[in-house]
Amino acid sequence: MNTSYTPSSIAGVLDTPTRKEGGKTIFEHLHEWATTVDHKKLGIMYIVYGLIFFLVGGVEASLMRLQLARPDNHFIGPQLFNQLFTMHGTTMVFLVGMPIIFGFANYLVPLMIGARDLAFPRLNSFGFWLSVMGGLILYFSIIGGMGMTGAGSMPDVGWFAYAPLTGKAFSRGNSTDYWTIGVLVGGFGSIATAINILTTIVCLRCEGMTLMKMPLFVWLSLVVSGMVLLAIGPLTAAQIMLLLDRYLGAHFFDTQAGGSAVLWQHFFWIFGHPEVYILIIPGFAIASEIIPVFSRKAIFGYPVMVGATVAIAFVSFGVWAHHMFTVGMTSIGNTFFVISTMLVGVPTGIKLFNWIATMWGGKIRLATPMLFCIAFLFQFLIAGLTGIMLAVAPFDWQLSDSYFVVAHFHFVLVGSLLFTIFAGIYYWFPKVTGRMLSEKLGKWHFWLFFIGFHVTFDTMHVPGLLGMPRRIYTYEASRGWGTLNLICTLGVAIQAVGILCFVANILWSLRSGKRAGRDPWDAWTLEWGTTSPPPEFNFSKSPVVKSRRPLWDIKHPSDPDWKYE
């Protein structure tokens, strides 16, 4: 396999002078990172921040799996277990998923459109540090959550925090407030970053890059940023209403004073469902870059891929109540959300088929990024099919809030999003650091994580079908869920070893990885035309593009893309 192939024809075309690093003290480095407004440094910080919390959330999950490994277990009590699943969910969505997808967009969007930075570099820094603040506030609850009434420390209301469990009557102390304010502050950071990415893509594209010549990653980042702008609003409003309920005597969700518990669910899920797509579309974005490069073919059906993404985004704002099929909506209401939810399957299916068609007839290089992407296709297929099952409202009345749902959304968030994030890290690590990640450790990481994932989450569907509800800290032996739960827990151990390989790979490769050069994968988008790592200003002269694959055009002057597009 020829991974460090750089055609001599591109060398120097988009060249940039190399910068000399003087000797700096550790404090100067810290100061530089803390005060930076460079989109690349902020992108790296977003991703590192997300990966650190990923380890925290993973430890929380492992503790829960240990508790559930056998029936009537006394390893963890109910209070701690409830806190763990609340923190695990909130952490993985708000402190892992969101920062990492913003990190990728932050780092890559300006490079891919030939810009020198995001449109508002200082707003970018502000957004990042707000996200950090949100995470710190949430985790400060561990020591600060006792409050005057002394109840609880970490929040224990679940990551979607259904009313009225969050009211003062049922949630004393301050733990729920740390959850509310942490999510609220992180949300402001997300809005700032979304505005920034949106503006950058609309205003800062280099010469020749029309909207329909943007790499798919950029298109999908544009769509996601628009969705973030629309979706975070209802969440923010709901959190403020909750704070008003708790401290100023409002009664939005206070059922004892005539408030509505269902109102919270509407507010939360009209954020929460688009949020699922906010998290998974960046996964699509990464796959849409990697699959063509490793299949050696242009993406199949680019205009349809763009259209399908916009369609998913649009429909995703009209499906939220499929999280609420069990709240007792009318049959008309249920039917509407059955149909709207199933409609999402159409554009999503198109995307899946187009990725397979991209591979079809190619010359597929099975390097680590591509392995993660192929596994993503397979797992996303399963996630989509179980999603269709959950969309059938009567079937959902059985499956909702059971372990089947837990397995389903882990296929979305782990099997699809996390696998593409790993693919993206293996793919762009050489660009970011100038060094390749080890393929050998990468393969170990992939296979262990792939096997562990399937042992845990394939199995997890079954107890749901056998009547096991989610969020229970223990169950009786006579229910017969013991063996299945033990298998799920064993899978976690395999995944954990895989993650250790990943951490070891990063630490080892940072120092000793093979030098990458500017274009180790023989890729086609603009970021591979500058040095690895790119200089602070990205490109010394603004690139001019004529097609969706500017580096292909340079490498194949006799057969450029712009002749066909």
Partner 1 sequence: MKLTAHKRLIVWAFAFLFGSLGMAVAANDLSLQTSIFSPESAPADSIKHLSFLVLGISGVIFAVVTGMILYATVRFRQRPDDDGKEPPQVYGSNPVEAAWTIVPILIVVVLALSATRVIQEIQNAPKPESALDVVVTGHQWWWEFSYPKLGIVTANELHVPVSSPQKRLPTFLQLRSADVAHSFWVPRLSGKTDVIPNRHNQVWIEPQRAGLFVGQCAEYCGTQHAKMLLRVYAHTPEDFERWASEQKAVQAEGPQVAAGRMVFQRTACINCHTLDNTIADGRFGPSLSHLMSRETLGAGALSNSPANLRAWINNPSQFKPGVRMPAMNLSDSDLDQLVAYLATLK
- Residues from 144 through 163 that contact partner 1 (CB under 8 A): 156, 158, 162-163
Among 133, 364, 493, 496, binds partner 1 (CB under 8 A): 364
Is the distance from CB of 187 to CB of 98 less than 8 angstroms? no
Among 250, 392, 493, 504, binds partner 1 (CB under 8 A): 392
What minimum distance in Å lies between the beta carbon of 352 and partner 1?
7
Phi, psi of 515 (to 5 degrees): -60, 140
Query: Residue 34 and residue 328: Cα distance in Å, rounded?
Result: 50
| Cβ-based nearer residue to partner 1, 48 or 261 | 261
| Cβ-based nearer residue to partner 1, 360 or 537 | 360
Sole window of 95-103, 175-183, 220-228, 256-264 interacting with partner 1 (rule: CB under 8 A)? 256-264
Query: Residue 383 and residue 379: Cα distance in Å, rounded?
Result: 6
| Cβ-based nearer residue to partner 1, 144 or 469 | 469
| Cβ-based nearer residue to partner 1, 128 or 325 | 325
Rule CB under 8 A: say whether 6 interacts with partner 1.
no
Query: Residue 49 and residue 127: Cα distance in Å, rounded?
Result: 13
Taking residues 225 to 244 in sequence order and writing x for each that binds partner 1 by CB under 8 A, - otherwise, the string is: --------------------
Query: Residue 502 and residue 90: Cα distance in Å, rounded?
Result: 23
Among 262, 310, 500, 504, binds partner 1 (CB under 8 A): 262
Rule CB under 8 A: say whether 212 interacts with partner 1.
no
Among 75, 129, 314, 353, binds partner 1 (CB under 8 A): 353
| Cβ-based nearer residue to partner 1, 251 or 514 | 251
SS3 (DSSP) at 106? helix
| Cβ-based nearer residue to partner 1, 191 or 383 | 383
Sole window of 18-26, 97-105, 362-370, 495-503 interacting with partner 1 (rule: CB under 8 A)? 362-370
Rule CB under 8 A: say whether 78 interacts with partner 1.
yes
| Cβ-based nearer residue to partner 1, 225 or 358 | 358
Site of tokens 């709240």: 327
Sole window of 195-203, 231-239, 268-276, 383-391 interacting with partner 1 (rule: CB under 8 A)? 383-391
Q: At what angle do helices 261-295 and 216-248 cross, to 10 degrees?
A: 160
Joined together, the tokens standing for residue 439 give 């393929």
Rule CB under 8 A: say whether 503 interacts with partner 1.
no
What minimum distance in Å lies between the beta carbon of 66 and partner 1?
16
Among 4, 62, 199, 326, binds partner 1 (CB under 8 A): 326
Looking only at residues 39 through 68 of this chain, which bind partner 1 when binding is defined by CB under 8 A?
none
| Cβ-based nearer residue to partner 1, 3 or 62 | 3
Query: Residue 262 and residue 249: Cα distance in Å, rounded?
Result: 19
Looking only at residues 167 through 196 of this chain, which bind partner 1 when binding is defined by CB under 8 A?
169-170
Joined together, the tokens standing for residue 543 give 């690139």
Query: Residue 107 and residue 39: Cα distance in Å, rounded?
Result: 6
DSSP state of 207: B
Dihedral of CA atoms 277, 282, 283, 287 in degrees, nearest 10, equals 130
What minimum distance in Å lies between the beta carbon of 327 and partner 1?
5
| Cβ-based nearer residue to partner 1, 231 or 405 | 405
Rule CB under 8 A: say whether 540 interacts with partner 1.
no
Q: Which residues pair with 530 in a beta bridge?
A: none
Dihedral of CA atoms 505, 509, 514, 520 in degrees, nearest 10, equals 70
Three-state secondary structure readout of 379-434? HHHHHHHHHHHHHCHHHHHHHCCEHHHHHHHHHHHHHHHHHHHHHHHHHHHHHHHC
What minimum distance in Å lies between the beta carbon of 82 and partner 1?
6
Among 13, 467, 515, 542, binds partner 1 (CB under 8 A): 467
DSSP state of 480: S
In order, the DSSP letters of 155-172 are --S-TT--TTTTSTTTS-
| Cβ-based nearer residue to partner 1, 245 or 561 | 561
Query: Residue 207 and residue 256: Cα distance in Å, rounded?
Result: 61
The answer, yes or no, to whether the previous bond of 164 is cis (omega within 30 of 0) is yes
Query: Residue 275 and residue 558: Cα distance in Å, rounded?
Result: 44
Q: Is 256 exposed, middle or buried (0-12, 13-18, 19+ CB in 10 A)?
A: exposed
Rule CB under 8 A: say whether 300 interacts with partner 1.
yes
Sole window of 10-18, 188-196, 241-249, 320-328 interacting with partner 1 (rule: CB under 8 A)? 320-328
Rule CB under 8 A: say whether 73 interacts with partner 1.
no
Rule CB under 8 A: say whether 533 interacts with partner 1.
no
Among 138, 235, 241, 374, binds partner 1 (CB under 8 A): 374
Interface size with partner 1, residues (CB under 8 A): 110
Sole window of 24-32, 41-49, 116-124, 344-352 interacting with partner 1 (rule: CB under 8 A)? 344-352
What does each C-alpha distance from 447 to 368, 466, 499 come to in angstroms?
A: 10, 29, 11
Sole window of 32-40, 50-58, 137-145, 394-402 interacting with partner 1 (rule: CB under 8 A)? 394-402
Query: Residue 36 and residue 325: Cα distance in Å, rounded?
Result: 47
Looking only at residues 404 through 463 of this chain, which bind partner 1 when binding is defined by CB under 8 A?
447, 450-451, 454-455, 458-459, 462-463
